[in-house]
Amino acid sequence: MLTILRLILQRLILGAATLAVISLIVFFGIELLPGDPAAAILGKSATAETLAAFRHEMHLDLPAWQRYAIWASDVLHGDFGRSIATGRSIDTLIGGRLANTFFLAAYAALIAVPLALGLGVLAALHRNSVFDRVVNLITLTAISFPEFFVAYILVYLLAVSVNLFPGITSLSPDLPLWDRLFRSTLPALTLTLVVVAHMMRMTRAAIISLMSSPYIEMARLKGIGKVRIVLRHALPNALAPIINVVALNLAYLVVGVVVVEVVFAYPGLGQLLVDAVSTRDVPLVQVCSLIFAATYILLNLTADILSIMSNPRLLHSR
């Protein structure tokens, strides 16, 4: 238990340092963009006095390092500030968007994880068969295409040709769960096709690598069926690498939704991030980036803990 607590503490400290570096990279990366944020927000008709007042109000007249120090101090005190483009509180802007993004990621995960694990186990059971080759071909083909291409193909097949699902995702807070699931199906299927190959192939490889182990050979000599050997003996010992790849892909479902949300006009955090970048809304970009980075770090931490709990030998160096 002490080893696990020490591991959690180390990962949290490293995660905090990583978040600080990411915030620096994002902030000064936006500073390198050409143009004046005040002029981009107020438009060409703004007078010099209006621009000066706006820059003073939003601290745009200060050096970049001072603005970053002010922003970082406010975040440490729980104040994410206000959007430069709209003047609204960032807490208000990201509240519903963050919930929508997590809903989409959870919806895709509920489809992708059982599907990938099931296909991986079946592919390992029927290694080098026609089923194994077909599943590998389909999943590798799906992962070879970029997300926006897969999204447009699904829109053409399921929204234009068949008119089965809406091509544009419009959500509202009072929308019933079934309607929300129905309207989010195409984005969820796009994310599923992108991530299922990684998890399926890792599950297959982990099980196949254990099938030549001595204890598996002993189980075969005892006359235990192949399905029981895989499910009762091989799969539990293959959980550590499977958990890692599942956690990494779950992290991708959250942080990799930007392109998918833009294609489907999904009202999530990724779409909000793209809009913030286009208007050079630095505080909003910073907060969105930190949320994505924190999610990725926490999921990796969870993967480490679950991997160790599934295989206690990882606690020891030998």
> What average pLDDT score do residues 173-179 get?
86
Does the model's pTM come out above 0.85?
A: no
CATH of the domain at 155: 1.10.3720.10
Amino acid 315: pLDDT = 59
Amino acid 229: pLDDT = 80
Is there a domain that residue 301 lies in?
yes
Instruction: Return d(Cα 94, Cα 86) in angstroms, integer.
Output: 13
CA–CA distance from 294 to each of 17, 39, 93, 304 (Å)?
11, 32, 18, 15
Amino acid 297: pLDDT = 83
Based on the domain organization, do 154 and 123 belong to the same domain?
yes
Based on the domain organization, do 20 and 132 belong to the same domain?
no
Residue 255 above 80 pLDDT? Answer: no
Based on the domain organization, do 309 and 170 belong to the same domain?
yes
Based on the domain organization, do 96 and 172 belong to the same domain?
yes
Answer with the residue of higher pLDDT: 174 or 308. 174
Residue 237 above 80 pLDDT? Answer: no
Based on the domain organization, do 168 and 254 belong to the same domain?
yes
CA–CA distance from 266 to each of 4, 112, 157, 188 (Å)?
39, 20, 19, 11
Based on the domain organization, do 247 and 279 belong to the same domain?
yes
**199: its two tokens:** 């998890």
Amino acid 107: pLDDT = 92
Residue 318 above 60 pLDDT? Answer: no
Of 24, 49, 76, which residue sits at a domain end?
76
Average pLDDT, the chain: 82
CA–CA distance from 35 to each of 30, 38, 41 (Å)?
11, 9, 11
Amino acid 71: pLDDT = 81
**22: its two tokens:** 């990411």
Is there a domain that residue 135 lies in?
yes
CB distance 272 to 6 below 8 Å: no
Residue 2 above 80 pLDDT? Answer: no
Burial of 72 (0-12, 13-18, 19+ CB in 10 A): middle
Is there a domain that residue 162 lies in?
yes
Is there a domain that residue 199 lies in?
yes
Reported confidence tier of residue 1, pLDDT bands at 50, 70, 90: low
Of 41, 76, 111, which residue sits at a domain end?
76
Based on the domain organization, do 94 and 164 belong to the same domain?
yes
Is there a domain that residue 276 lies in?
yes
- Overall number of domains in the chain: 2
Based on the domain organization, do 149 and 255 belong to the same domain?
yes
Of 76, 102, 137, which residue sits at a domain end?
76
Q: What is the largest CA-CA distance in the chain?
A: 87
**pLDDT per position as a tens digit, 74-95:** 888 878 878 877 778 888 888 8
**271: its two tokens:** 């779409």
Provide the b/e sequence for 48-67 (b: ≥16 CB within 10 Å). eeebeebbeebebeeeeeeb
Domain around 269: 90-315
Is there a domain that residue 111 lies in?
yes
Based on the domain organization, do 122 and 184 belong to the same domain?
yes
Based on the domain organization, do 203 and 228 belong to the same domain?
yes
The C-alpha torsion from 13 through 17 and 23 to 28, rounded to 10°, is 170
Is there a domain that residue 85 lies in?
no
**pLDDT per position as a tens digit, 257-306:** 888 888 898 888 888 888 888 877 878 888 888 888 888 888 888 877 77
Based on the domain organization, do 301 and 206 belong to the same domain?
yes
Is there a domain that residue 84 lies in?
no
Amino acid 211: pLDDT = 77
Residue 38 above 60 pLDDT? Answer: yes
Based on the domain organization, do 300 and 227 belong to the same domain?
yes
